[in-house]
Each structure stands twice: as C-alpha cells, then as structure tokens.
Amino acid sequence: MKSLKTSETTKKKNDYWFETTKHDFSAELIRLFKESGMSRVDLAAKINSSPAYITKVFRGNINFTLKSMVKLVGALGGELHIKITPKRSKAHSVEVDETTDIDA
C-alpha cells in the first residue's frame, strides 16, 4: 500500500508542477500579447488558427505542446526557452524572450 501512496503523492506533485508551469507560460504569453497591440483575430491569423483557439489559450484550457508554445510565442515576437534545474533547487522556469522573428 505504501507504493500506492507514494504514487499518488508523486502524481499530485507532478500535477501541481504541470499546472504551475502552464499558468506561468500563459501569464507570460498574455503579457507579450498585450505588449504586441495585436488583436486575438490577428494572432489567430498569424498562426493559422481560429480566434476561439486563442481564447482557449488565454483561458489556459488547452494542453500546450512544445510546437504550439513556440508558434504562439514566435507570433508575438518572442522566443521560448525551457530551463531544467536539479530537484533540490525547487525552481521551475519558463522564460520568454522577445527577440525571435517568426518569419525568419
């Protein structure tokens, strides 16, 4: 029974980190979006998607893939960096750099 408890604890921790990282990414994406002056329709067109998809993105109602993250950030003039740290660090990081040209 102990292994089941450990498994449930690990799952809860993983769920926490997943949701926290997704939230941090969404917050940075929204910040870039606001700074861009772009409309949701403009952003959707730039990534060949629908405004409804962009609404879901900003609500955090999707599971991001690396491809979708890079595409969204790039469309807003940013660059995605993923940082991995040792567990003892307690840090997690999703960084967005505003220097990437999506058309390059």
Segment 16-33, tens digit of pLDDT: 888 888 889 999 999 999
Domain count, the chain: 1
Query: 6 lies in a domain?
Result: yes
**Cβ 34 vs Cβ 78: under 8 Å:** no
Domain that holds residue 67: 2-97
The CATH number of the domain holding residue 72 is 1.10.260.40
Residues 85, 26: Cα–Cα separation, whole Å: 21
pLDDT in tens, 57-86: 998 888 899 999 999 999 999 999 998 888
Q: Name the pLDDT band for 1 (thresholds 50, 70, 90).
A: very low
The pLDDT, as a whole number, for residue 61 is 80
- Looking at the domain assignment, is residue 27 inside a domain? yes
- Two tokens at 37? 């002056």
48 or 92, higher pLDDT: 48
Query: What count of other Cβ atoms lies within 10 Å of the Cβ of residue 70?
Result: 16
Cβ pair 96, 35 in contact under 8 A: no
Has residue 104 been placed in a domain?
Answer: no
In a domain, 82, yes or no: yes
Query: Are 76 and 29 in contact, with CB atoms under 8 Å apart?
Result: yes
- Those residues whose C-beta lies under 8 Å from the C-beta of residue 61, and which sit 6 or more positions away, are none
Largest pairwise CA distance in the chain = 54
48, part of any domain: yes
Does residue 91 have a pLDDT over 90?
Answer: no
Q: What is the mean pLDDT of residues 27-46?
A: 96
Q: Is residue 78 in a domain?
A: yes
Assigned domain for 102 exists: no
- Asked if residue 74 is part of any domain, the answer here is yes
Q: In the structure, what pLDDT confidence band is assigned to residue 44 with cuts at 50, 70 and 90? A: very high
